[in-house]
Chains A and B, each alone.
Chain A
Amino acid sequence: MHGFIIRGIELFLRARHGDWVWASVCAATGLDRRGTQIMKHYQQDMVQHMILAAGAALQMERDELLEDIGGWIPRLDGMRHIMRFSGSRFEDFVLSLDDLQDRASVVLPGLNLPRITTYLIGAQHYRLAVQSEAREWYPVLAGLLRGMADDYGVLAMVEREGGALDVQIADDRFAEGSDFSFAQQFGVAT
C-alpha cells in the first residue's frame, strides 16, 4: 500500500482523535509511532489493519470511520485547494472525479487510486461507480463528497445505491460556500 494513503490515515487519526489512538494503532500494526513515510511502500492490507485497530480503540464502526476520513480531507487546506481546481461548481467537481486517478498518477506515480466513473442521471443527480476490489473506497468517497458539498455551500444527498454512490443536489444555494480563489493559493497579487 502506498505510503501516501498510510500517512493520510495517520494524520487523520492524530489530528481528529489524538496521539493516544495513533499509539494504539501502532501497537497493533507495528507502524512507526513517530510517523509514517509518504514514499515508503507498506504491506498491502495495512489500511485494513489500521482501520480495524483504530475502530477498536475508538469504538467506531468501520464505515463510520472511513466516512470521517473522507470528510476530513477537504478540511486540509492544501487538499481542499487541489480539489477545488477540478471545477468552479460542485457539480463540475463531482463529474470531474473521473479525472482523479489520472491526476493522482501524474503527481505520485505508483499511487493507484481507483478509477471512478461518473454518470449524469438526471437534473443535479449523479451516479459514481468505483472500480476497485477494496470496499473501503465507497465510504471514504461518500465522506469526501459531503465535505466538498459543504465547502461549495451546496446541500447534497449522498447515498450508497447498489454497487454505486448516488449523489443528488437538493439546493445549490444552501449556504454561502467558502471563498475560493486561485490567487489566494499562490500568494498575494503583486
Chain B
Amino acid sequence: MTGAIMIPVDRLVSLMPMHLLVDEGGNIRSCGPTLRKMIGWATNIAAAFEIRRAPHEARILPSVRDAAASGRRVFLGIRESQLPPLRGEVTALPHGEMLLNLGFGIGVIDAISAYDLTDADFAANDLAIEILYLHKSNQLIRAELSRHSLRLEEAREAAELQAFTDPLTGLLNRRGFELAFNLALEARRAQSDPAQEFAVMQLDLDWFKDVNDRFGHAAGDAVLRRIAEVLRQETRSDDCIARIGGDEFLILLPELTSEPAIRQLGRRIIDAVQQPVWHDKHLCRVSGSIGAALSTSYHELVSEELLAHVDEALYAAKRAGRACVRLHGRDQTGIDPQVD
C-alpha cells in the first residue's frame, strides 16, 4: 500500500541537509542549509547547477524530470566549481514539484575544505565524517610509514657502503674497486669514445713493514690514513681509489690517456708519500713504487690482463730501485732491470 505522507518543509532541513525542492519551472522552493552554502543565493536550479554524465545537449530541468520518472540517479555539477558532481535521486511531487536529495562522492573531502563544513552540516546517517577520519588517519600513518622506508633505505645504503669500503681509510676495498673497474670496462666495450678510456695505477708502499715493526700497528695505521689523504688530494673527484691489501692501492683514472700526465701524477704521488709522518713522537718514513697501464694500449680489453700488466709494471718499478713509476707497454717491464 502506498499513501501520502506529510513532512513539514522545515523538517526536511534536518533530515536532508542537501535537499533541493524545485517547482515545475526549476525555481528553488526549499534548499538544505549545507547545499545552500555551496550554491549561494541562486533561485533557480539551472543557475546553480549543470547536468553531468548526460548527453552534451541535455538541459537540466528535463533531465531531472526524466530521472524522477525513470528512477535513475542524477549528477549535478555546481557551476564554477571544480568539485566532482553531486549525485542523488529525484522524486516527483504533486503540482510538478520535484524533490532532490543530493550527496557528495569522494568530493566530500575537498568540499569540506572549500565550504568550511562541519559535522553539523551532515545528516546523522551520512558517513562524511568517517571518510574524513579515515583520510586524516591515513595521512598520519603514511607519514610514519615513509619514515620507516627512509630508515630502511639508509640502512641499505650504509650496508652497501660498508661492503665496498675499507673501514681504516674510507677508500674503496677490492670489491668496490672491481665494481667500478668492471663498469669502466663495460662502458668502453659498449662505446668507442675517448671519454671511455682510462688508466689504472697501482701503488705499493716501500718500507711500510719497517714502520709497523718498529713503531707498532697504530703507527702503520696512521701512515695508511695519511696515504689515503695524499691520494685523495692528488686525484680528481671521479677517480676511484681503493686499498686492496695491507699497503697496496689501486686507482682507476677515467679519461686519462696521456702518458706524460700519468707519469707526472705518479711522480707527485711518490713525492707526497715520501713526506714523513709524525706519530706518537716517532717520525715514520715510507716511500712508494707505482705501476700503471693505459687502456688506450689495448684493442680488446680483458680485466685480468690489464690488472696483471699493471702488477708487472709495479714489479718493474720495484726492481728499478723503488720510488719510481713504470708504465706497461711504454717502459721495459720484463726481467731486465731498468734505471728510472
Contacts and interface: CB of A to CB of B under 8 A. Distances in A.
Nearest to A190: B114
Contacts of B136: 78, 81-82, 85, 185
B113 A85 contact: no
Interface string B120-153: 1000000001001111111111001101100100
Given A37-B148, A38-B144, 18 more contacts: A35-B151, A39-B145, A39-B148, A78-B139, A82-B133, A82-B136, A85-B132, A103-B133, A107-B138, A182-B118, A183-B115, A183-B117, A186-B109, A186-B132, A189-B113, A190-B82, A190-B110, A190-B113
A30 interface: no
Interface in A1-29: 7
A185 B140 CA distance: 12
Contacts of B118: 88, 181-182
Chain B's interface: helix, strand, loop or mixed, by majority? helix
Contacts of A78: 136, 139-140
Chain A's interface: helix, strand, loop or mixed, by majority? loop
Which residue among B109, B112, B133, B144 has the maximum number of chain A CB atoms within 10 Å of its CB? B133
A74 B98 CA distance: 46
Nearest to A11: B144
Contacts of A183: 112-117
A114 to B, nearest CB: 18
B115 to A, nearest CB: 7
B155 to A, nearest CB: 9
B119 interface: yes
Interface of B: 82, 109-110, 112-120, 129, 132-141, 144-145, 147-148, 151
20 contacts: A35-B147, A35-B151, A38-B141, A78-B136, A78-B140, A85-B129, A85-B133, A107-B133, A107-B134, A107-B138, A181-B116, A181-B118, A182-B112, A182-B113, A182-B116, A182-B118, A182-B119, A183-B114, A185-B132, A189-B116
A187 B112 CA distance: 10
A189 B115 contact: yes
Which residue among A39, A88, A107 has the maximum number of chain B CB atoms within 10 Å of its CB? A107
B140 A82 contact: yes
Contact of B151 (A34, A107, A181): A34
Nearest to A40: B148
Contact of B114 (A81, A88, A103, A189): A189
A188 B137 CA distance: 19
B131 to A, nearest CB: 10
A87 interface: yes
A57 interface: no
A107 B137 contact: yes
Nearest to B115: A189
A182 B114 CA distance: 10
Contacts of A87: 119
Which residue among A34, A85, A188 has the maximum number of chain B CB atoms within 10 Å of its CB? A85
Which residue among B110, B117, B144, B151 has the maximum number of chain A CB atoms within 10 Å of its CB? B144
Contacts of A181: 116, 118
Contacts of A106: 134
B173 to A, nearest CB: 26
Nearest to A84: B119
A106 B132 CA distance: 13
Nearest to B152: A37
Closest 7 CB pairs of A and B: A186-B113, A183-B116, A107-B137, A38-B144, A85-B133, A78-B140, A182-B112
Contacts of A34: 151
Nearest to B109: A186
